[in-house]
Amino acid sequence: MTDSDTGQTQRPTPPAAISFARGAPSTDIVDVDGLKQAAVAAFENDPAGVTGYGTAIGYVPLRRWIAEKHGVPEDHVLVTNGSMQADAFLFDEYVRPGTAVITERPTYDRTLLGLRERGGEVHLVTLQEDGIDVDEVEALLAGGLRPALAHVIPNFQNPAGYTLSLAKRERLLALAHEYDFLLFEDDPYVDVRFTGEPLPRMLELDGGADSRQVVYACSFSKTVCPGIRVGYLVGPPAVIDRIRVRATNTYIAPNMVAQGTVYQYVTGDRFPAALERVKTALAERVGVLDESLRRHLPQATFRRPEGGYFLWVSLPEDEGHDVAAIVREATARGVTIVPGTDFLLEGGHNAFRLAYSGVTADVVDEGVRRLAEAVAAARG
Amino acid sequence: MTDSDTGQTQRPTPPAAISFARGAPSTDIVDVDGLKQAAVAAFENDPAGVTGYGTAIGYVPLRRWIAEKHGVPEDHVLVTNGSMQADAFLFDEYVRPGTAVITERPTYDRTLLGLRERGGEVHLVTLQEDGIDVDEVEALLAGGLRPALAHVIPNFQNPAGYTLSLAKRERLLALAHEYDFLLFEDDPYVDVRFTGEPLPRMLELDGGADSRQVVYACSFSKTVCPGIRVGYLVGPPAVIDRIRVRATNTYIAPNMVAQGTVYQYVTGDRFPAALERVKTALAERVGVLDESLRRHLPQATFRRPEGGYFLWVSLPEDEGHDVAAIVREATARGVTIVPGTDFLLEGGHNAFRLAYSGVTADVVDEGVRRLAEAVAAARG
């Protein structure tokens, strides 16, 4: 950078703020031109379909595309205004005051909130590096717990970034059958795997179209963009139909313009290359983040994720960290993070979540450097 | 029409189906090209804003435009995925099992459903040609009823097409103040008035930015298109903020691509002329409908609306009509209507709603002719 007055070269000004807080992509990895063309195609190819009301099942061609992707008949699919709206409908259907629900510990803060708002009795089960502790789930069930559903984020979990192993997927499914609870497979990150081999979905392991124990949720927020708010559910037709009625009574129909645009985009020429660009960028950011954490915060432990947006950092328990103080000190240094306590009902004071999806590789190291300063400052 | 085999001119085939059932515009009065251009402008002018998550208040520039339109500060406005979603949030906030609510009789079927699903104790008050019977409302209040809210569709009411007079607007507002209930002014049709003078909103009569008793809902479904699912609420900031929290917990944020597109469209060059075309088409359809009803169903009574989508037809009580049979006979003749019974908790057997928004003027008369046949056939 050259100072326009003196002509002398200066050090670059540090970026005003570096957000490791928000699980959202930076705009440089959103294919804005491709989306613009897809919107044009949606209006040109199906003007009545995208401008009319439609129905609560969602935009019919997109629903068909999703059904084909998952190898199920169309009546197993409902397309919604983002997958959180889908979660809300599912929780409205299954969770009453006192309903027992199993979730991972830690888990997505909005999931916990949604379950508790409905009066759900939430049982958080330890999350290990290969996914939820199935022994612990089994012990709860053997001890008499009868959950209506178990919520699991199988790939690149939010907030931990961990992935559920195949063996655990199979055991969890067997337990769902044995104790007849619904397995809610919440899978928004599956298509942004940047290394390693994909694992079969529990929906597939349960027979896909014949599955009776799995409701699967996914989203286009990570593969297309979040502002377009398109997500979906796949599950047994009877469940999907009850949610369809609920959706009809809530909003008549979801957004047809947005869903038509997503349909044109994911069936268009640009999507495969754009998705590769997203994965390459995420992989690069994780690479830098890994190195920077080892350099600036050598006392931290974490597992390098194979996909998704998040990495969970733990500091040594015996050092007595206070993550609220770390958040304050980091914010003062222009870095935002989400404290571990947000993803747990108790504990998490020595942990935080780093989202690398919104931080370009060139500023990751500076962000971690400031964060390490914050950790030191917070210990006084 | 020329038969391709014989070359002889034939009578046109009657249209397969004529729907007076759905309150939706025909595609010919949707400015598809204008919307396409607006979507392009949204992606080009604000790529980060429309592709990113945004927040539950809605797309910021559109929220500002709405605030200016209604002369209120921005924190009085929340933009949602369609105005039915806004209604749902408001009902979730105000209606508990046993909560007393006043509505019009007849009223929008989905409003009744939404209130009853939440356990609301619904008091339906007679709708007159100049709007809800305010004497009846006053008598209920004087008799001890203490509603949390009163739901009123002031302009071109669904299903009746009637408009609330200025005098009644003022009296209703006075009652809302005296008995401290919320007046829910549900106004999706206001901007498709095609004749007569607009009346002030109750929101305005109550002081606009200073209003404490009115929550106002509107939509872009009738002025832009329904498939884009954009609606909004205007109300006291404390109410709006509670609904913002609810919206955040339900879907994080509404559709930014759709709201950005609406923003570009309503601030663009094409909108005023396109809206005039909508009104002209609706006026023409009402003109034909009025004449056709007088010709084919002279025994029917109705009031020709000054705007909106709907006209309410009553047949003589003493003729003993059964609207379910009329619906069946009409359907058999390729004409769909919604029975009066759908908009009432009791009664309505001699009435039905005609939506003219989706029926082009050239087929209105044929539709009414078939409907008259159906009325005759239903009496057997």
Do residues B222 and B276 both lie within one domain? no
- A274-330 pLDDT, tens digit per residue, is 999 999 999 999 999 999 999 999 999 999 999 999 999 999 999 999 999 999 999
Q: Do B215 and B88 belong together in one domain? A: yes
Q: Of B266, B284, B309, at which residue does a domain stop?
A: B266
* Per-residue pLDDT at B242 exceeds 50: yes
Chain B residues within an 8 Å CB radius of A33: 43
- Categorize the per-residue pLDDT at B15 as very low, low, confident or very high, splitting at 50, 70 and 90: low
The verdict on B79 and B188 lying in the same domain is yes
Are B226 and A254 inside 8 Å of each other by CB? no
Q: Are residues A214 and A323 in the same domain?
A: no
Extract the tokens encoding A202.
Answer: 């529990």
> For residue A86, is pLDDT > 90?
yes
Determine, yes or no, domain membership for B338: yes
Assess B255–A contact: CB distance below 8 Å, yes or no. Answer: yes
Q: Which residues of A touch B258 (CB under 8 A)?
A: 255, 257-258
Q: Please report the number of interchain residue pairs, chain A to chain B, with beta-carbon separation below 8 angstroms.
A: 154
Q: Which residues, listed in sequence order, are joined to residue A193 by a DSSP beta bridge? A: A307
* Partner residue opposite B117 with nearest CB, options A33, A249, A254: A249
Residues A284, A171 share a domain: no
Q: So what's the pLDDT on residue A5?
A: 40
- pLDDT per residue over A196-225, tens digit each? 999 999 999 999 999 999 999 999 999 999
The 10s digit of each residue's pLDDT in A7-61 is: 444 444 555 799 999 999 999 999 999 999 999 999 999 999 999 999 999 999 9
Q: Judge whether residue B195 has pLDDT over 90.
A: yes
Residues 305-364 of A with CB under 8 A from B: none
B274 at A interface, C-beta within 8 A = no
Name which of B36, B51, B258 is nearest A30 (Cβ-Cβ). Answer: B51
The whole-number pLDDT of residue A345 equals: 83
Residues in chain A: 380
What pLDDT digit, counting tens, does each position of B48-88 carry?
A: 999 999 999 999 999 999 999 999 999 999 999 999 999 99
**Are both B61 and B158 inside the same structural domain?**
yes
Quote the pLDDT of residue B346.
87
Each residue of A323-363: pLDDT tens digit?
999 999 999 999 999 999 999 888 899 999 999 999 999 99
For residues A100 and A152, state if they share a domain.
yes
Q: Rounded CA gap, B164 and B160, in Å?
A: 11
Of A46, A53, A58, A134, the C-alpha closest to A89 is A58
Distances B264 to A183, B34, B36, B39 between C-alpha atoms, Å: 42, 10, 10, 7
A12 located within any domain: no
Q: Residue A341 is part of a domain; what is its CATH number?
A: 3.90.1150.10
Contact A18, A368 (CB under 8 A): no
CA pair distance B376, B315, nearest whole angstrom: 12
Residue type, B275: L
Measured between CB atoms, which of B84, B225, B252 is closest to A252? Answer: B84
Per the structure, the count of domains in chain B is: 2
Cβ-based contacts of B255 with chain A (< 8 Å) = 81, 227-229, 255, 258
> Position of tokens 């259907």?
A93
Using pLDDT thresholds of 50, 70 and 90, give the confidence band for residue A164. Answer: very high
Q: Where does a domain end: B235, B266, B297?
A: B266
- Provide the chain A residues 33-52 that lie in CB contact (below 8 A) with chain B: 33, 35-36, 39-40, 43-44, 47-52
* Residue B6 pLDDT: 39
Closest CA to A229 of B110, B109, B228: B228
Q: Which amino acid is at B38?
A: A
- Say yes or no: B123 and B139 in one domain: yes
Is A225 in the same domain as A100?
yes
In a domain, A306, yes or no: yes
Residue % of chain B over a pLDDT of 90: 93
A227 with B52: Cβ contact below 8 A: yes
Six-digit token string for B292:
């056709």
Q: Which residue of B has its CA nearest to A256?
A: B227
Angstrom CA distances, B94 to B112, B147, B148, B239, stand at 15, 10, 7, 10
B24 SS3 class: coil
Between B363 and A2, residue with greater pLDDT? B363
Yes or no, beta carbons of B88 and A250 under 8 Å apart: yes
Instruction: State whether B130 and B232 are in the same domain.
Output: yes
The Cα of A267 is separated from the nearest Cα of chain B by a number of Å equal to 19
Report if residue B12 sits inside a domain.
no
> Measured between CB atoms, does B188 come within 8 Å of chain A?
no
Q: What is the pLDDT of residues B129-177, one digit of tens each?
A: 999 999 999 999 999 999 999 999 999 999 999 999 999 999 999 999 9
3-state secondary structure of B231: strand
Mean pLDDT over each residue of chain A, to the nearest integer: 95
Phi, psi at residue A104, to the nearest 5°?
-80, 155
- The chain B residue lying nearest A257, using CA atoms, is B228
% of chain A residues with pLDDT over 90: 94
Q: Which residues contact A135 (CB under 8 A, 6 or more apart)?
A: none
Q: In whole angstroms, what is the distance from residue A196 CA to residue A163 CA?
A: 11
Nearest CA-CA distance, residue A18 and chain B, Å: 16
Average per-residue pLDDT for chain B: 95
For A53, the closest of B24, B49, B117 (CB atoms) is: B24
- Say whether pLDDT at B211 is over 50: yes
CB atoms within 10 A of CB B70: 18
Q: Partners of B186 in the beta sheet? A: B217
Residue A48 lies inside a defined structural domain of this protein? yes
Among candidates B27, B44, B85 on the partner chain, residue whose Cβ is nearest the Cβ of A36: B44
Comparing CB atoms, the residue among A24, A85, A253 nearest residue B53 is A24
Is A5 among the domain residues? no
Mutate to test the interface with A, among B35, B90, B249, B251 (most CBs of A within 10 A): B251
Q: Is the pLDDT of residue B35 over 90?
A: yes
- Asked if B196 has any chain A CB less than 8 Å from its own CB, the reply is no
In a domain, A8, yes or no: no
pLDDT of residue B2: 36
The ipTM, to two decimals, is 0.93
User: Do A179 and A64 share a structural domain?
Assistant: yes
Could A251 and B81 be called an inter-chain contact, meaning their C-beta atoms sit closer than 8 Å? yes
Which chain B residue shows the shortest CA-CA distance from A41?
Answer: B36
Q: What CATH number did the domain enclosing A230 receive?
A: 3.40.640.10
- Predicted local distance difference test score (pLDDT) of residue B345: 83
Helix, strand, coil shares of chain A as percentages rounded to 5?
Answer: 45, 15, 35
Residue ending a domain, choose from B266, B293, B316: B266
State whether residue A261 sits within 8 Å of chain B by CB: yes
Asked whether residue A2 is domain-assigned, the answer is: no
Distance from the A24 Cα atom to the nearest Cα atom in chain B, whole angstroms: 7
- Tell me if chain A has a CB within 8 Å of the CB of B142: no
Is A223 in the same domain as A291? no
Structure tokens that stand for A353 in this block:
């979540």
Range of the domain at B352: 18-31+272-379
For residues B339 and B109, the answer to whether their CB atoms sit within 8 Å is no
Element (H, E) at B127: strand B121-128
- In 3D space, the residue among B108, B166, B100, B162 whose CA is nearest the CA of residue B137 turns out to be B100
